[in-house]
Structure 1
Amino acid sequence: MKSFNVKSNAKRFAKQLAGKFPGYIADEPVPVSPGAREWYPHVAAPSKVLAEGIPADITAAAFVNGRPYNAEAAAPEPAAPAVDIEAEVAKVADMTPAEVVTATKANKAKARAARKMTPADMKAAVADLPPTKSTPEEIEARREARRQRIATEGPKPAKAPKQTKAAKIIELVSRENGATFAELMEGTEWQAHTLRGYIAGTLRKKGHNIVCRKIKGEETRYLIPAAEVEA
């Protein structure tokens, strides 16, 4: 099969080749090897055309549907012979077909008998099976063990309520010297713009009189006046 060192030439050759036979289409050239600068012509063929056989001119000069055409591989596989299910079962189980039929009839008879069982018969049939649920005695034993453990260890201590960020701010600014902005940011882990908006808006709307106190040489401190804290 001839290869081309120019991709467009390989495609042009495939187009000329496909034009000779109705139903065939020129496709993208196939590289000789990964990264190689040589290409094989490539022709695409629908399944109906493949079933009729590929012309020798195409198979000798170009790839067909992405691979070199192989007439043996393209030929349809012969249909599998019909399988006698009963004979196969008999072969595997070392049983004759007559024995398989007999066993099948016996299983059907057992199924019919099971459908006719009364509740008492079903209870007797499963009496020897291991229990799938705890008995009342086992349940009561577990409850008693739990009661004894609680009496010995005592009830679990109640969890302390989680302090909210708002409560943390009130706690910090209610101190005698209040808190700096950096201390409030550290205590709440909020961004500066969020903290400023909360102090200026939400807290004051709730009636908290937040005062800013500036002392020369120190950072501005935020606090609630002592009279309001005591009230």
Structure 2
Amino acid sequence: MIGALDAPMEALRTLLAGKAARTPREPAGPRKAREGTKQEQVLAMLRRPEGATVAQIAEATGWAHHTVRGFFAGLKKRQGIEVQVLERVRQVGPNKEGARGSYTVYHLPA
């Protein structure tokens, strides 16, 4: 029974020996964002002269606010793109703490 596998195993060894060893792929460099994705939409909003707030981006994409901030962190970590603060508007409440309505406008450098 074991002898019946000798011929197929030898054929397989011959076939595999003829193939060249696989070479690792070279990195192609930074990826470009695909068009029409939510990520591309966020990048377009951040490139506007007036920038965008987390609330505006969350509304446009359907993401939660913490997801938008995580996307900003990922841009810096993976692609080296740092999102800049264009303006901070701070609403001050009666106890001198930030109140609802405070926001930050973010922008991508040109």
Cα distance in 2 for residues equivalent to 1:215 and 1:195: 17
Write the deviation string for residues 103-132 of structure 1: whole angstroms up to 9, x where unpaired.
xxxxxxxxxxxxxxxxxxxxxxxxxxxxxx
Give the 5 Å matches for 1:13-162.
none
2:107 is aligned to 223
What is the aligned partner in structure 1 of residue 60 from structure 2?
187
When Rg is computed on C-alpha atoms for both structures, the one with the higher figure is 1
- For the structure 1 residues 197 and 216, does the alpha-carbon distance in structure 2 shift closer, same or farther, using more than 3 Å as the test? closer
Which residue is equivalent to 1:197?
70
Identify unmatched segments of 5+ residues in structure 2. 1-33, 91-101
Q: Superposition RMSD on alpha carbons, in Å?
A: 2.1
CA distances 1:172-195 after superposition (whole Å, capped 9, x unpaired): 000001001111101111112221
Identical-residue share of aligned pairs (%): 31
Give the match's secondary structure for 2:106.
strand
TM-score by length of 2: 0.51
Alignment CA distance shift 1:207-1:214 (3 Å):
same
Please, which runs of 5 or more residues in structure 1 have no aligned partner? 1-160
Q: Deviations over 1:31-76 (max 9, x none)?
A: xxxxxxxxxxxxxxxxxxxxxxxxxxxxxxxxxxxxxxxxxxxxxx
> In structure 2, how many angstroms separate the alpha carbons of the residues matched to 1:192 and 1:171?
18
- State the one-letter code of the partner of 1:207: G
Letter in 2 for 1:223: H
In 1, Cα distance between the equivalents of 2:35 and 2:49?
24
> 1 or 2, which has the higher helix percentage?
1
Return the alpha-carbon distance in structure 2 between the equivalents of residues 194 and 186 of structure 1. 12
* Pair 216,192 (structure 1): closer, same or farther in 2 beyond 3 Å: closer
SS in 2 for 1:171: helix
What SS does the corresponding residue of 1:214 show, helix, strand or coil?
Answer: strand
Partners of 2:106 and 2:35 lie apart in 1 by 24
Moved over 4 A (4+): none
User: TM-score, normalised on structure 1?
Assistant: 0.26
Instruction: State the alpha-carbon separation in 2 of the partners of residues 222 and 216 from structure 1.
Output: 12
Q: Between Structure 1 and Structure 2, how many residues are aligned? A: 65
Partner residue in 2 for 1:39: none
